[in-house]
Structure 1
Amino acid sequence: MEFEVIRDGLHLRGVIDRPEGDAPCPAVVMLHGFTGDMGDRPGTLFQEIAERLVASGVAAIRFDFNGHGCSDGDFGRMDVLNEIEDAIAVLTYVRSLDWVGDVRLLGHSQGGVVAGMMAGLYHDVIGRLALMAPAATLKDDAIAGTCMGVRYDAAHIPDAVAIDGGAHVVGGHYFRIAQTLPIYEVSARFAGPALTVHGLADEIVDPEASRRYGAALPDCTVRLYPQLNHGIEGVDHDAAVAEAVRFLTA
């Protein structure tokens, strides 16, 4: 089932996969990463997780952040704060659905940063929080003046930074915001069950980010897999995905 919500004039588009029947069930809101999308097609990480959730009796709700995928917006105007605003709009919609019971969050990469902060902001609403390779190092990178291998002057941030060989242009405001984000402080307000899954072979985000979530959140299990990269690919893929699904369907 497709759905659409409007946030500040932007149409955010997503899909809902739910178990058969009309019985109430838990729902997992899934948040994708930087330059990614909701992955509503065979072979993607989020499609695999969604199918496993539904098979276990839990609904999967995915959407594209502003400037990504099928949603409105300009990628160059995206930042973590307005992605949080996107997530709030979607969460409000999800909570309005009469068949949704407990609401849980899953975030990958930058979506993990948003999911963690959302859990902190809505600590009285969210039941469980799962983070996969959460990219909390985006703050450290912004302070150091680097993004996806591209360097810039962190003390005099340009109006725009081209990455991926020019395929994406990141607005300078993204880095100014990232430098001051209270990522762990806000996330730590969530006292419910949390899980971080991270690969020791992650070439983009240092696994130390997950260790810091484990130290900051009151009830957070940290699982590090030796043969797993940032995209949750590698020999440990099946084990990592299975653990996240078990946690979210508990």
Structure 2
Amino acid sequence: MAKRHKVEFSGGSGARLAGILEMPDQGAPRAYALFAHCFTCGKDVVSASRIARKLAGLGIAVLRFDFTGLGASEGDFADTNFSSNVRDLLCAADFLHREHHPVDLLIGHSLGGAAVLAAAGEIEEAKAIVTIAAPADPDHVIKQFACSIDTIEAQGHAEVQLAGRPFTIKKHFLEDLDSHKMGYIRELGRPLLIYHSPVDQTVSIDEAAEIYNRAMHPKSFISLDHADHLLTRREDADYVASTLAAWAEPYLRRAEDK
């Protein structure tokens, strides 16, 4: 079991961000993790909530939060972009460090995984990094609204349907994606674990191969053989959490021994 605490902190734009800190039910946490959710999802998407709760049950505290303009967080999604997500992550890491403990593990799902890779260089205390179904480059997300690109370019914005919900995408979102190239994957300087499903229909497993090839050792890959992109089956989320905790243990223990 885990203890769940609602938290709030200021994001990169000054908006109040809503988060949940999952804590082990008994004893002090072995480590603290920061979880970044998938594009247009939220902290309560089943993958994020199940992985966080399972990790807490295994002794790892997890902070999951809504990016600006999503879920219970303040702000307008239309005014956000990949860079603002990275800034929100940095604010979340600072909050966790200030109020509880420095971040030990960075975990990101889908575009959240790309954001974690981008933010890692500025979260130096993180001992290890984990991506789940993440693209190698953030501009991969454009495929989800490719038919609206011409409208966005011509009119400056467009309403698009993502996961059955309407979102406004502005031209600055596209321009910001163009400015990000994931060369910093090679500069992570910490252990990296990559999860991906070979049957992922949203982000191809080729993206995992690209991340793996760019990264330096130590790096590991775990296949989620029958999982969908959002890890909607409980057993897939539980498998990620269990293997993640086992993989991270040597790196956490080594840091404690220093």
TM over 0.5: yes
TM-score normalized by the length of structure 1? 0.85
> Deviation digits for residues 193-234 of structure 1, max 9, x if unmatched?
111111111111111111111111212212233322211246
8 Å contact 1:27–1:102 — kept in the other structure? yes
Match for residue 12 of structure 1?
A: 17
Match for residue 132 of structure 1?
A: 132
8 Å contact 1:24–1:101 — kept in the other structure? no
> Deviation digits for residues 114-163 of structure 1, max 9, x if unmatched?
111111333x3111111000133542464xxx434534239946411322
Match for residue 7 of structure 2?
A: 3
Match for residue 176 of structure 2?
A: 177
Equivalences for residues 75-86 of structure 1 within 5 A: 75-86=77-88
8 Å contact 2:151–2:157 — kept in the other structure? no
- Name the Cα RMSD after superposition: 2.5
Matched length: 241
Match for residue 254 of structure 2?
A: none
What is the distance in 2 between the residues matched to 1:141 and 1:61? 24
Gap change, CA 1:154 and 1:226, over 3 Å in 2:
farther
Select 1:159's aligned residue among 156, 162, 169: 156
Greater share of helix: 2
Select 2:60's aligned residue among 58, 61, 64: 58
What is the distance in 2 between the residues matched to 1:229 and 1:4? 31
| Matched-pair identity in % | 19
> Deviation digits for residues 8-40 of structure 1, max 9, x if unmatched?
330011011112456363111110011100017
8 Å contact 1:199–1:229 — kept in the other structure? yes
- The amino acid of 1:120's aligned partner reads G
Unmatched segments (≥5 aa) in structure 1: none
Shift of 1:241: 4.5
What is the distance in 1 between the residues matched to 2:156 and 2:35? 30
Shift of 1:167: 1.0
What is the distance in 1 between the residues matched to 2:245 and 2:212? 19
Gap change, CA 1:102 and 1:111, over 3 Å in 2:
closer
1:189 matches 2:191 = no
Match for residue 226 of structure 1?
A: 225
